[in-house]
């Protein structure tokens, strides 16, 4: 079981808009059945921490390439992707293995 966390650095003042787009992307992947429910959080400067940052994270049973055969296409992203790219300065992705009962020593 894995936690996948994607962090976006966005243009100043655009965190809430970017978070809205990223949330829509997460919902589209979930509706297509290719990803579990995701959680999106952001900081536009109203809370302590890194400003102009948006994070999306989700849990998956395994790490799989998005280029795998048999993967269900995700529809509805044609307009969202370009909008998000226009707001994004950088992004990173992290992969964390979750501790589960079967992994306990």
- Supply the pLDDT for residue 75: 86
Q: Does a structural domain hold residue 69?
A: no
Q: What is the DSSP string of 5-26?
A: EEEEEE-TT-HHHHHHHHHHHH
* CATH for 6: 3.30.70.100
User: Could you give the 3-state DSSP secondary structure of residue 95?
Assistant: strand
- Helix-helix angle 80-87:15-31, to 10 degrees: 150
Residue-level pLDDT at 52: 97
pTM for this entry: 0.90
Q: Does 96 map to a domain? A: yes
Give 49's DSSP letter.
S
Q: Which two tokens stand for residue 6?
A: 């994607």
pLDDT in tens, 54-103: 999 999 999 988 788 888 788 888 899 999 999 999 999 999 999 999 99
Distance of CA 60 to CAs 17, 79, 96, 97, Å?
26, 26, 10, 10
Identify the domain containing residue 16 by its residue range: 2-63+77-100
Task: Tell me the percentage of the chain whose pLDDT exceeds 90.
Answer: 77
| Tally of domains in the chain | 1
In a domain, 72, yes or no: no
81 domain residue, yes or no = yes
């Amino acid at each position: 079981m894995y936690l996948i966390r994607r962090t976006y650095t966005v243009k100043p003042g655009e965190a809430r808009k970017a978070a809205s787009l990223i949330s829509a992307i997460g919902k589209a992947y979930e509706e297509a059945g290719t990803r579990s429910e995701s959680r999106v959080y952001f900081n536009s400067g109203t809370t302590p921490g890194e400003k102009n940052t948006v994070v999306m994270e989700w849990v998956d049973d395994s790490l799989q390439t998005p280029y795998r055969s048999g993967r269900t296409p995700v529809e509805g992203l044609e307009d969202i992707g370009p909008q998000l790219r226009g707001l994004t300065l950088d992004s990173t992705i992290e992969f964390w293995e979750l501790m589960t009962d079967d992994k306990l020593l």
